[in-house]
């Protein structure tokens, strides 16, 4: 597969790398009234860097012109939701990420490396390339476009692994908060009393604690006698 070789799209820019959430939240915020011009004053809640990335993305997607005047697709996206919003995003994706739909590139079967090479051919490098790919994939998922499982599989496995680790951590934390059977090793890992325990567990804890106090007193008595001798 040979990706389309071009360092820019129709607007003369490389693929944007603004955060997907930032872009979608901005569009959602326009549902009331789309301003006559999109400039930094319309996104004052964002940092200067985020404002610049968002403006570049809006121009790349042909949602505004060079002077910031909103275009028809921006009005349509801002006023839509559900299936209509998805159709609008698919139009945006196909028009802006044209190299993803060029001859020889099958988005439903491509490998992760093929996807990276396609963005590389558009002049994207390093961390910005990763962010640009992340934006593209997020928009594709939001729009309902079918993506290759070879592109999305790793993300799913990573998410599953994170969930497994979180579950494991919660399980260990819960286990550590319970009294040890038979009051073994009270000096190492003796749990803090929890009023939420069952009555039987509370009783066990108090028995262990009394045993711990008894051993402590015996140890102190022995040490005192040793000093006297």
Q: Which residue has the higher pLDDT, 11 or 137?
A: 137
Flag whether the pTM goes above 0.85.
Answer: no
Instruction: Identify whether the C-beta of residue 125 lies closer than 8 Å to the C-beta of residue 17.
Output: no
- The SS3 assignment for 144 reads coil
Taking only the tens place, the pLDDT of each residue in 129-141 is 999 999 999 999 9
* 198 exposure class (CB count in 10 Å sphere: 0-12, 13-18, 19+): exposed
* Residue whose C-alpha is closest to residue 33's, from 70, 59, 86: 70
* Residue whose C-alpha is closest to residue 91's, from 140, 55, 26: 140
Give the count of beta carbons closer than 10 Å to the beta carbon of residue 140.
Answer: 20
Q: Would you say residue 29 has pLDDT above 80? A: yes
Confidence tier at 225 by pLDDT (50, 70, 90):
low
DSSP letters of 75-119? HHHHT--HHHHHHHHHHHHHHH-GGGGSTT--TTT--HHHHHHHH
Write down the domain spans for the chain. 20-150, 181-228
pLDDT of residue 188: 47
Taking only the tens place, the pLDDT of each residue in 41-59 is 999 999 999 999 999 999 9
Q: Would you say residue 2 has pLDDT above 50? A: no
Taking only the tens place, the pLDDT of each residue in 100-111 is 988 778 999 999
Instruction: Identify whether the C-beta of residue 62 lies closer than 8 Å to the C-beta of residue 73.
Output: yes
Taking only the tens place, the pLDDT of each residue in 71-99 is 999 999 999 999 999 999 999 999 999 99
Taking only the tens place, the pLDDT of each residue in 119-166 is 999 999 999 999 999 999 999 999 999 999 998 755 444 555 555 555
Q: Which residue has the higher pLDDT, 181 or 153?
A: 153
Instruction: Identify whether the C-beta of residue 99 lies closer than 8 Å to the C-beta of residue 105.
Output: yes
Confidence tier at 32 by pLDDT (50, 70, 90):
confident
Residues 6+ apart with CB under 8 A from 38: 55, 58, 63, 64, 68, 69, 70, 74
User: Between vectors from CA 137 to CA 131 and to CA 141, what angle results, nearest 5°?
Assistant: 145
* Residue whose C-alpha is closest to residue 149's, from 111, 123, 103, 180: 111
């Amino acid at each position: 597969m040979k990706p389309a070789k071009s360092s820019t799209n129709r607007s003369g820019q490389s693929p944007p790398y603004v955060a997907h959430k930032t872009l979608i939240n901005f569009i959602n915020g326009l549902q009331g009234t789309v301003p006559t011009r999109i400039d930094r004053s319309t996104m004052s809640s964002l940092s200067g860097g985020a404002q610049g990335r968002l403006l570049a993305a809006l121009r790349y997607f042909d949602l505004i012109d060079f002077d910031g005047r909103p275009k028809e697709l921006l009005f349509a996206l801002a006023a839509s939701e559900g299936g209509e919003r998805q159709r609008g995003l698919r139009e945006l994706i196909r028009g802006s990420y044209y190299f993803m739909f060029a001859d020889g590139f099958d988005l439903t079967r491509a490998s992760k490396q093929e996807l990276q090479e396609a963005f590389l051919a558009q002049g994207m490098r390093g961390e910005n390339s990763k962010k640009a790919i992340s934006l593209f994939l997020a928009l594709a998922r939001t729009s309902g476009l079918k993506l290759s499982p070879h592109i999305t599989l790793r993300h799913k496995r990573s998410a599953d692994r994170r969930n497994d680790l979180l579950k494991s951590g919660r399980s260990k934390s819960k286990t550590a908060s319970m009294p040890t059977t038979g009051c073994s090793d009270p000096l190492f890992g003796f749990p803090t009393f929890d009023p939420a325990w069952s009555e039987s567990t509370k009783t066990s804890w108090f028995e262990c604690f009394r045993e711990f106090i008894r051993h402590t007193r015996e140890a102190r008595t022995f040490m005192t006698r040793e000093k006297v001798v």
